């Protein structure tokens, strides 16, 4: 499956995960992955941001370190330079906030306005309309996402792509993106390469 095909398939799935995640109760982590269905040989990998301008940001380096540790745990060898790598891991991350109600008597249309994941550059954009219930007490949920593409450095072919999404009530310690990323990274690479084209819910 070529890179363009993977991207077209993954983006709508990620949007659905965000919308499906809008409940007030714990939902764990929803993970969707796409790959070619053939064994993936492990090798050296260099993790870079989807937005090149973020390469020296402390936030990116922190998240890249977490993802690199998870890649190492499943057999890849993280390296510090691109030229030493067989694979490139393109990392995206982000967070948006959505209002939900636990006991709604009525609902209204609400547009999720162009929320873009990817640490400020590219990634999955959310622009679908969603019904947000009104009444019965409204909560604001922080929806966190982590995405990773693995591609061969030699020909830039994407061989694996995945997105992990979780949520937590805004204002709680678990709601920050920094708190969410370790669990997102762990579940994103859990059971690697994972089932292709299916959403799996991990209860953490």
* Cβ neighbour number for residue 121 with a 10 Å cutoff: 15
CA pair distance 178, 155, nearest whole angstrom = 33
Using the 8-state DSSP alphabet, how is residue 196 labeled? Answer: B
- Tell me, what's the pLDDT at 6? 43
Encoded tokens for 31: 């993970």
- Tell me, what's the pLDDT at 103? 53
> What pairs with residue 161 in β-bridges?
34, 149
71 pLDDT more than 80? yes
Measured at the CA of 58, the angle between CA 188 and CA 12, to 5 degrees, comes to: 35
- Tell me, what's the pLDDT at 82? 97
| Alpha carbon of residue 92 to chain centroid | 7
Encoded tokens for 192: 């690697």
What values do phi and psi take at 50, rounded to 5? -60, -40
Does residue 121 come out as left (phi exceeding 0), alpha (psi in the -120 to 50 range) or beta? beta
- Tell me, what's the pLDDT at 83? 96
Using a pLDDT cut of 70, give the percent of the chain over it. 68
- Which whole number is the average pLDDT over 18-32? 62
- Tell me, what's the pLDDT at 20? 44
15 pLDDT more than 80? no
69 Cβ partners below 8 Å, 6+ apart? Answer: 78, 185
84 Cβ partners below 8 Å, 6+ apart? Answer: 44, 46
pTM of the model: 0.73
* Domains defined for the chain, CATH in brackets: 3-196 (3.30.160.150)
């Amino acid at each position: 499956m070529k890179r363009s095909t993977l991207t077209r398939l993954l983006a709508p799935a990620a949007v659905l995960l965000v919308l499906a995640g809008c409940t007030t109760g714990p939902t764990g982590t929803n993970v969707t992955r796409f790959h070619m269905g053939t064994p993936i040989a492990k090798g050296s990998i260099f993790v870079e941001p989807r937005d090149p301008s973020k390469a020296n940001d402390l936030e990116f380096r922190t998240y890249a370190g977490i993802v690199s540790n998870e890649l190492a745990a499943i057999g890849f060898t993280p390296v510090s330079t691109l030229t030493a790598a067989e694979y490139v891991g393109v990392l995206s991350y982000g967070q948006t906030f959505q209002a939900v109600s636990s006991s709604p008597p009525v609902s209204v249309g609400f547009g999720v306005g162009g929320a873009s994941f990817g640490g400020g550059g590219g990634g999955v954009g959310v622009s679908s309309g969603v019904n947000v219930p009104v009444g019965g007490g409204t909560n604001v949920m922080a929806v966190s996402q982590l995405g990773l593409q693995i591609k061969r450095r030699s020909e830039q072919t994407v061989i694996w792509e995945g997105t992990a999404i979780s949520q937590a009530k805004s204002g709680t310690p678990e709601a920050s993106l920094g708190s969410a990323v370790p669990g997102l990274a762990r579940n994103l690479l859990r059971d690697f390469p994972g089932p292709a084209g299916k959403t799996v819910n991990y209860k953490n």
